[in-house]
Amino acid sequence: MSIRYEPKYDVVKKLKNLIEDNNWETKFKEAIDKAQEYKIKRIEHIQNIDKFLEWLDTFVEWIPYDKDGERDLYYNICEFYFFLDQEPVKSLQMYPAAYCKGVNSRARFNSILYGTKNSYLDVGSKVVLQGVGSRGLKQPCLLAHNQFLTRCL
């Protein structure tokens, strides 16, 4: 399986290169197929990696707006993450979570990561504050010699 689409934007080109360099084509195909099983009308045109990358290029060009109760901004962001949250693509991400349920509970994530020249690290963390007076902190990662994408909440 080869990707034929040539992205216009650097960020989409980088994703294409990551997919090809790491032989993730099958993982992305499976994730797209799983997303399509939900029969969501707004994403039904994205049937393969080429269409996914083309859609991402249009997403980069898109100017967000919300008018008269329309929720395009919300839907576009949800659609983007919906594909990335399908297995097996989801398994490429490192995203631990801590749930602070007790009174005055605390959570802290500290990460020290090292990657060699061709490393790919997708890192993040989530602190869910549920208890009265609970607090959480996510410290920045220390990284060396790598390219990475990070998910921000």
- What is the model's pLDDT at position 96? 80
How far apart, in Å, do the first and last CA atoms of the chain sit? 34
Q: Which amino acid makes up residue 86? A: Q
**Residue of 6 and 117 predicted with greater confidence:** 6
Higher-confidence residue: 126 or 66? 126
What is the pLDDT averaged over residues 114-127? 74
State the Cα–Cα distance between residues 124 and 134, nearest whole angstrom. 20
Tokens of 67: 């008018």
> What tokens were used for 52?
């996914």
What is the per-residue pLDDT across 82-120, written as a single tens digit (0 to 9) for each? Answer: 998 899 998 888 778 888 999 999 888 777 676 777 777
Other beta carbons within 10 Å of 54: 18
